[in-house]
């Protein structure tokens, strides 16, 4: 629909947003939004250190270890699904603030748990908050980000996840010197501090202009746009209303987004990143490294990601998502082969060659995951769903990620005492090879493409989508 002198179409407003320069307010908003990623990283990563101490404290069986570790992911998947309709109906900002409250509450309750059942319940509900946050964070950033900066703004989510994970292992290392009866309580309880900071800062955020316009809230949208440095005086002709759930899933392009990006998020998890992170200290303990040193090995491997994520931040809007995915998943495959060799050494009672090989493989694995898999996956999750279905669609994709994570981390502690590590890493080798094939066959390039053009890209035939879409 053409605009008149006194009015603008929704598409013209979006074009102004897409072509804007990313001023300081954009970066501040992206970082504040991504603070939920910090809590995601800390609250999921700290279990790797705490598990060494809560296992003997509560006399946990391997089954209970699997439940305690994996149910966070189950409830994260549920949280993502529940959050989706809430996000589309009530807005992005309300959910972002609510998440902060849930993070603080359940981290505190985890720290004061009296029984193993208490701990499992509160840790699971921390997962609910994590899942809800992952349903909205990168989608919200993608909705206000200019298209040429979108990758760098949205990847702050993964930068913060990495920061939270890294700090969780160093906190676990230093707190492990406290008495075993209280050190794990401090590990869980420290998550309250960043959660309270997050709650305060998220009140600063503007609501998504795209969402406001879809809701018909023109004046609120103009105020939000003004905060982003885009001043609109004309009347804005409203866009189409949000898609109903059944209507959205009836559209081939929505189903293709769920299939293609959902597969990325599945492979992102089942190739084993959270086996290395959640169970890293547990694995080193299995190899014979005990106490704080078991945590230190994982802390060192993850800390090297500081350089790796900044490299991903630099490359994502230059190389694009597809090339980084090829490098990332290809590197995971190579590092998992080395991991399998380390497990082979251990199987033949060559302990120190096994430790060195597994430490090297874990460090190499995290290098490639940080550069081309983790952050890229969350960027794709946030930018590919249509705006009128982004909350619910992002929730579906986040839930896929979390349920895949649950499957692999639930299996590992049950597999380990029965079949050993060697066969488990063989399984991971096969999954990583499948991931490489998938990236080459299906993953498109979305760099520099407006989020409102994603339906056009994913409307192409399945095996043609990887060819991308050139903007006119």
- Kindly give, in sequence order, each residue whose CB lies less than 8 Å from that of residue 144, ignoring residues fewer than 6 positions away: 17, 26, 29, 206, 208, 209, 210, 228
pLDDT at 112: 95
| Euclidean distance between CA atoms 85 and 411, whole angstroms | 31
Q: What number of residues does the chain have?
A: 472
3-state secondary structure at position 60: coil
pLDDT at 2: 46
Contact call for residues 357 and 340 (beta carbons, < 8 A): no
CA-based R_g, the chain, Å: 22
- DSSP secondary structure letters along 180-246: TTTHHHHHHHTTHHHHHHHHHHHTTPPPPHHHHHHTT-HHHHHHHHHHTT----SEEEP-PPPPPHH
Query: Using alpha carbons only, what angle is made at residue 325 by residues 362 and 38, rounded to the nearest 5 degrees?
Result: 60
- DSSP secondary structure letters along 173-197: HHHTTS-TTTHHHHHHHTTHHHHHH
pLDDT at 3: 47
Query: Using alpha carbons only, what angle is made at residue 135 by residues 438 and 32, rounded to the nearest 5 degrees?
Result: 115
Query: How confident is the prediction along the chain (472 residues), in pLDDT tens digits per residue?
Result: 444 568 888 888 888 988 988 889 999 999 999 999 899 889 888 988 898 899 999 999 989 988 998 899 999 999 999 988 888 888 889 999 999 999 999 999 999 999 999 999 999 999 999 999 988 888 889 888 998 899 889 889 888 988 898 899 899 999 998 998 899 999 999 999 999 999 999 999 999 998 898 888 999 999 999 999 999 888 988 876 666 778 888 889 999 999 999 999 999 999 999 898 888 887 888 888 877 887 888 888 778 776 777 788 888 999 999 999 999 999 999 999 999 999 999 888 888 898 899 999 999 999 999 899 988 998 999 899 887 788 888 899 999 999 999 999 999 989 988 888 899 999 999 999 999 999 999 999 999 888 888 989 999 988 889 887 765 4
State CA 188 to chain mean position distance. Answer: 20
pLDDT at 104: 94
Q: Report pTM.
A: 0.84
Q: Which two tokens stand for residue 90?
A: 């009530």
């Amino acid at each position: 629909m053409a605009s008149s002198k006194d009015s603008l179409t929704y598409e013209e407003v979006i074009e102004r947003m897409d072509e804007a320069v990313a001023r300081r307010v954009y970066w501040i908003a992206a970082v504040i939004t991504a603070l939920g990623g910090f809590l995601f990283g800390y609250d999921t990563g700290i279990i790797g250190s705490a598990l060494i101490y809560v296992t003997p404290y509560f006399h946990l069986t391997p089954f209970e270890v699997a439940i305690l570790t994996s149910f966070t992911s189950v409830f994260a998947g549920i949280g993502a699904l529940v959050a989706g309709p809430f996000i589309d109906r009530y807005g992005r900002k309300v959910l972002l603030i609510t998440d902060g409250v849930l993070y603080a509450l359940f981290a505190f309750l985890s720290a004061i748990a009296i029984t193993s059942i208490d701990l499992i319940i509160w840790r699971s509900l921390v997962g609910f908050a994590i899942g809800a946050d992952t349903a909205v964070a990168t989608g919200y950033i993608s909705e206000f980000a200019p298209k040429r900066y979108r990758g760098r703004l949205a990847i702050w989510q993964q930068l913060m996840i990495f920061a939270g994970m890294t700090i969780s292992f160093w906190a676990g290392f230093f707190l492990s010197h406290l008495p075993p009866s209280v050190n794990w309580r401090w590990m869980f309880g420290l998550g309250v501090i960043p959660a309270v900071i997050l709650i305060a800062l998220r009140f600063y955020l503007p609501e998504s202009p795209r969402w406001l316009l879809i809701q018909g809230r023109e004046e609120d949208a103009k105020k939000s746009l003004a905060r982003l440095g885009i001043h609109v005086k004309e009347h804005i002709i409203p866009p189409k209303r949000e898609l109903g759930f059944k209507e959205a899933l009836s559209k081939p392009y929505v189903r293709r987004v769920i299939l293609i990006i959902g597969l990325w998020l599945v492979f992102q998890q089942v190739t084993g990143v959270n086996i290395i992170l959640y169970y890293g200290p547990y694995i080193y303990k299995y190899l014979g490294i005990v106490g704080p040193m078991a945590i230190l090995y994982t802390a060192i491997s993850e800390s090297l990601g500081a350089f790796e994520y900044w490299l991903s931040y630099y490359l994502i809007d230059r190389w694009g998502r597809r090339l980084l995915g090829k490098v990332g998943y290809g590197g995971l495959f190579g590092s998992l082969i080395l991991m399998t060799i380390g497990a082979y050494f251990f199987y033949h009672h060559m302990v120190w060659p096994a430790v060195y090989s597994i430490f090297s493989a874990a460090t190499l694995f995290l290098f490639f995951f940080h550069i081309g898999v983790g952050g890229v996956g969350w960027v794709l999750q946030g930018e590919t769903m249509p705006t009128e279905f982004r909350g619910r669609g992002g929730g579906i994709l986040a839930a896929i990620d979390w349920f895949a994570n649950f499957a692999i981390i639930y299996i590992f502690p049950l597999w380990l005492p029965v079949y050993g590590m060697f066969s488990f890493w063989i399984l991971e080798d096969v999954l990583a090879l499948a991931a490489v094939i998938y990236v080459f066959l299906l993953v498109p390039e979305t760099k520099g493409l407006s989020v409102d053009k994603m339906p056009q890209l994913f409307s192409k035939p399945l095996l043609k989508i990887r060819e991308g879409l050139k903007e006119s």
